[in-house]
Amino acid sequence: MVTDSLSPFQTKALSRRLQERAARIQSWLCVGLDPDPDQMPADIPRSAAGLVEFCERIVVATSPHAVCFKINFGFFESFGVAGWQALAETRQLIPPAIPVIADAKRGDIANTARGYARGIFEELGFDAVTISPYLGWDSIEPFLGYRGRCVLVLTRTSNPGAADLQELRLQGEQLYLHVARRSLQLRGEAEVGLVVGATAPEAVRAVRRLSQDALLLIPGVGAQGATIEVAMAAGASAAGLNALINVSRDILYAANGTEFAAAAAGAAARLAAETWNAIAPAS
């Protein structure tokens, strides 16, 4: 059953921006900025400032091929106060025309969630944020008041332990499907999308069947074992839209020497073409 009904107050501004950019650059590639100091080239300092330097070179190299970027908060937060400053600096490196997702996986009671929402949307200026629904729907509500932004609800994640909870059955259906269905019914001014891992293609297909309209963030391609062809076949809408294929390690660490940025650019170009070719009509 398709459940594409939206609140009259909910906009699809971010989806429209992404669709326009995807058509312009012929890519549904989301470049994940996961700057792991243990994997960065030897000439990059193992510091908060080093994260910014590394990400800046990656952003410059891959921007022509990225429909959006996703910044993983964990790598920055590990450096404490300096890491938070580095996170803000890295956010500002990304050209205004390119949407940016805060991969923060927030989820807390409403008054705390309001603080997270203000910080991520108002202070840091992110376009979207990943949200854990475990505390219930009131924990998501504060994020929904931001017109033009997007809340990406963790639904069926790409990690090996995802099935421990997310595939448990609730009233006859798996929990991740219940989360997806209920998330798509949330009311607010922000757009609601879903995070569904490419490592579980049947789950991606099941979630896509719920809505041809929803924006899906699809991690798990590359280092986690999934392929772009399978991810796009499962996650793109019938019109070939709204499947953000996130790749991090295969781009960031395509080479480990001074040529890492050039290697990242080459990897991003190849992967972007794969996302576009996967939805191209057969000749």
**At residue 167, does pLDDT exceed 90?**
no
Domain limits for position 28: 13-275
Question: Residue 95 corresponds to which tokens in the numbers above?
Answer: 């050209």
pLDDT at position 282, please?
Answer: 45
Q: Which two tokens stand for residue 212?
A: 């041809």
| DSSP-assigned states of every residue in the chain | -------TT---HHHHHHHHHHHHHT--EEEEE---TTTS-TTS-SSHHHHHHHHHHHHHHHGGG-SEEEEEHHHHHTTHHHHHHHHHHHHHHS-TTS-EEEEEEE---HHHHHHHHIIIIIIS--SEEEE--TT-GGGTGGGGG-TT-EEEEEEE-SSGGGHHHHTSEETTEEHHHHHHHHHTT--SSSEEEEEE-TT-HHHHHHHHHH-SS--EEE--BSTTSB-HHHHHHHHS-TTS-SEEEEE-HHHHTS--STTHHHHHHHHHHHHHHHHHHTTSPP-
Q: Which residue has the tokens 């939206």?
A: 6
Is a pLDDT exceeding 90 seen at residue 8? no
Residue 191 located in a structural domain: yes
| 223 or 196, which is more confident | 196
**pLDDT tens-place string over residues 71-120:** 999 999 999 999 999 999 999 999 999 999 999 999 999 899 999 999 99
| Mean pLDDT estimate for the chain | 93
Q: Which pTM does this prediction carry?
A: 0.94
Domain membership of residue 208 (yes or no) is: yes
* Closest by CA position to 83, among listed 35, 126, 128: 35
Residue 267 neighbours by CB under 8 Å, 6+ apart: 250, 251, 254
Range 121-144 average pLDDT: 97
**pLDDT category, 2, cuts 50, 70, 90?**
very low
pLDDT tens by residue, 191-209: 999 999 999 999 999 999 9
- For residue 8, tell me if it sits in a domain: no
For residue 169, how many other CB atoms are within 10 A of its CB? Answer: 10
Residue 1 clears pLDDT 70, i.e. is over it = no
Residue 283 lies in a domain: no
Q: Supply 162's token pair.
A: 């995802």
Average pLDDT on 219-242 reads 93
The Cβ-side half-sphere exposure at 126, using a 13 Å CA radius, reads: 28
User: For residue 4, is pLDDT > 70?
Assistant: no
Average pLDDT on 168-193 reads 93
Tens-digit pLDDT profile for residues 20-71: 999 999 999 999 999 999 999 999 999 999 999 999 999 999 999 999 999 9
User: 267-280, pLDDT tens digit by residue?
Assistant: 999 999 999 999 97
Q: How many domains does the chain have?
A: 1
Nearest to 48 by CA among 35, 59, 57: 35
Q: Please indicate, yes or no, if residue 4 is contained in any of the structural domains.
A: no
3 within a domain of the structure (yes/no): no
Provide the pLDDT for residue 110: 86
The mean pLDDT of 244-260, rounded to a whole number, is 96
Backbone angles phi, psi at 104, to 5 degrees: -110, -20
* Helices 201-210 and 175-183, axial angle in degrees (round to 10): 30
> What percent of the chain stands above pLDDT 70?
95
Residue 11 pLDDT class (50, 70, 90 cuts): low
CATH classification of the domain holding 147: 3.20.20.70
Q: How far, in Å, CA of 205 to CA of 38, rounded?
A: 35
- State the catalytic residue, choosing from 105, 181, 249, 270: 105
Q: What is the pLDDT of residue 162?
A: 86
Please confirm, yes or no, whether 70 is among the known catalytic residues.
Answer: no
Q: Per DSSP, what are the bridge partners of residue 283?
A: none
- Residue-level pLDDT at 32: 98
Report yes or no on 282 lying in a domain: no
Q: Indicate if the pLDDT at residue 10 is higher than 60.
A: no
Tell me what pLDDT residue 283 has: 33
- Has residue 9 got a pLDDT over 80? no
In a domain? residue 192: yes
- When pLDDT is cut at 50, 70 and 90, the band that residue 281 belongs to is low
